Amino acid sequence: MIPRTSEVNHIHIRSVLFSSIVNVGDTDEHTAFSRAIAIQKYEPEFNPTLNNLLDFPRYQIFTMVRPPAIPPKEVVMESYHDPAFIKVNSIDIFGISTAAMLHIGGIQNIDLESRVKHVRDYRTNPDPKNLSIVPFATVSRKHREPKGREE
Amino acid sequence: MKFQVINHDLSIGDLKIVGVSISSLVLVGDAGHIALAAAFDTPPETLTVGTALVPLSVV
């Protein structure tokens, strides 16, 4: 098979982060993996004791086995290109994040994986009328009283 | 089965994308085999009060 040529005149990207890449050219194989624990905290400072507590394997989402992909059906494929060009004038992307990819050119095998765990940590119960939605953690750990708190 | 494809001229003007995120792919070209996986966990149980950020199962 004669490879097709991709032609892009102009690329403008503001940010590429967390295992993401921008590739111009052909690729045989590419694998990217990203995992993240995103903590939405009330207090702006990071508590160093969290370093020991926040272990990836402690959360099920990082240990659960990825379901096996359905193996591709072997099909005899013939493709003819006339003319062998994919033309794009401009690409404008604000952000590429978390094992994502922008690829200009042909690619044979690509495997991207990302796992994200969100935790919202409030200083006090944000919804006291509906306690049932807030399962208070049974882990008994010394509750740190926030500084400068009234009452 | 024989699968025959004839590609003609492919011309695109301007692509404007806000975000490519969580194992996503923007491809200008041909591909053989693509596998994209993403696991995202934000159930109500993720909401904690205080400093106990470890999951309930780890006691």
The closest alpha carbon to B22, from A13, A76, A17, belongs to A17
**Could you give the CA distance from residue A33 to residue A80 in angstroms, rounded to a whole number?**
34
**Residue A101 and residue B29: Cβ atoms within 8 Å?**
no
Nearest to B28 by CA among A132, A12, A4, A93: A4
Residue B55 CA to residue A117 CA, distance in Å, equals 11
Q: Which residue of A has its CA nearest to B45?
A: A135
Which residues of chain A have a CB within 8 Å of the CB of B40? Answer: 115-116, 118
Instruction: Give the pLDDT confidence of A28-77 residue by residue, as tens digits.
Output: 999 999 998 887 777 777 777 777 777 888 888 888 898 887 887 788 88
Instruction: Assess A9–B contact: CB distance below 8 Å, yes or no.
Output: no
Task: Provide the 3-class DSSP secondary structure of residue A103.
Answer: strand
pLDDT digits (tens, 9 = 90+) for A80-129: 877 788 999 999 999 999 999 999 999 999 999 999 888 777 766 666 66
Q: Residue B19 CB: number of other CB atoms within 10 A?
A: 13
Cβ-defined contact of A82 to B7 (cutoff 8 Å): yes
List chain B residues with CB under 8 Å of A120.
46-48
> Is the separation of the CB atoms in A4 and A84 below 8 Å?
yes
CB contact under 8 A, A86 and B12: yes
Contact status, residue A88 vs residue B15, Cβ threshold 8 Å: yes
CA distance linking residue A107 with residue A139, whole number of Å: 48
ipTM score above 0.85: no
